[in-house]
Amino acid sequence: MDTHEKLKLLSDASRYDLSCACGNKGSDQRVRGNDGAWLYPVSLPRGGTSVMLKTLISNVCSNDCMYCPYRSEIDTPRCTIAPREMASMFMEYVRRKKVFGLFLSSGVIGTPDKTMEYLNTTAKILRKKHSYRGYIHLKIIPGASDAAIDEALSLSSAVSLNIEAPGENHFSRLSQRKDFLRDIIGPMKRISHLTSRGRKFNRVKQTTQFIVGAAGENDSEIVRYTAGLYERLKLNRVYFSAYQRGLGHESIPGEQIALKGQEGFVREHRLYQVDFLLRNYGFSKDDIIFDASGRLSMDRDPKLVWAQANPWFFPVNVNRAEKNELLRIPGIGPQSAKLIIKKRKEARIKTPDALPLKGKRLKLALDYLKF
């Protein structure tokens, strides 16, 4: 293969890793360029969004992750792009003003540190030879040494190490070659420490990803771990990827009973809704309601479930409520709450028509408001 053929294959392979950007709006979705490479949205430091090239540097892998279509036992076309090739090709995109940044991941090329050498060398060439000062997101390979991690932090704008499962027991069902505490949690704690306020790499963001449904975990376990990652390790974002049965090993010990149709993706969507509540709405993990088996509702969003389970909290007076109270009302988000507070400073809100809400959101909110 030539370099562009490799990029097409490896960029396509990177779609299974969500730890950089995703969303449910058209403007948040990836787009495929004419040359086959995938371009992803990314938030700019000063606001707004642009796109970045997202790819693996190699889909060669010595690991045994049971859910992965590129695990070592799978017979599939493999290739690797050398760091200089990758850097030169990326700079072509930059010069043509096609991208804002780079998300670079990889399969495990022999050992974690050998792989990190490929990733870090690419970033080093971009920073030093090409004087590139833009966005670089580097994948941290599980089991990488402290020195390799520190070098990645010195070169990148963001890093990610996928947690994959909530806890050691579930994680052990996904891989026999990786150790949860040594290869995942230890490095994540180190990154959190080195990127904390006042530390050398405090400008670098850290994200991670759960593979949802592969290890037999329930939603409450994922939510508990997600809250801990935000509270204790101060992660920038947590992502969720619904396990797609049959892509990796044909049978995973403890795997969830296969969900019908799109239910696996509905479960992923519900976890994202909980994530928004934890990050933007002032909810805690104890506010999230699960069924007896620890699952989120499949037919109602978690905010509506909370509202229906807490009738004592409503109705909320739209003219007196604090922002955190407004954010508990179904149909009202952070922007709507901000506009309500602004409008009522100008004049008392007397009717539904004066609310900055329309359609289904307005109809939903009215059941929980008084004027």
- Mean pLDDT for 323-334 is 96
Cβ-contact 355, 340 below 8 angstroms: yes
Say what the pLDDT of residue 322 is. 96
Neighbours of 225 (CB within 10 A): 20
pLDDT tens-digit map of 257-267: 445 556 778 89
Domain ranges of the chain: 1-160, 199-309, 311-370
Assess whether pLDDT exceeds 90 at residue 96.
Answer: no
Spatial distance between the Cα atoms of 240 and 316, rounded to a whole number of angstroms: 33
pTM of the complete model: 0.89
- Mean pLDDT for 200-218 is 93
CATH number among 3.30.750.210, 3.30.70.980, 2.60.40.10, 3.20.20.80, domain 1-160: 3.30.750.210
The helix-helix angle for 112-124 and 83-95 (nearest 10°) equals 40
SS (H, E, C) 239-271: EEEECCCCCCCCCCCCCCCCCCCCHHHHHHHHH
Identify which has the larger pLDDT, 255 or 330: 330
Which residues, in sequence order, are CB contacts of 171 under 8 Å at separation 6+? 164, 165, 178, 180, 184, 215
Q: In CATH, what is the architecture of 311-370?
A: Orthogonal Bundle (1.10)
pLDDT tier at 20 (50, 70, 90 boundaries)?
low
Task: For residue 345, give the 3-state DSSP assignment.
Answer: helix
Which amino acid type is present at position 162?
N
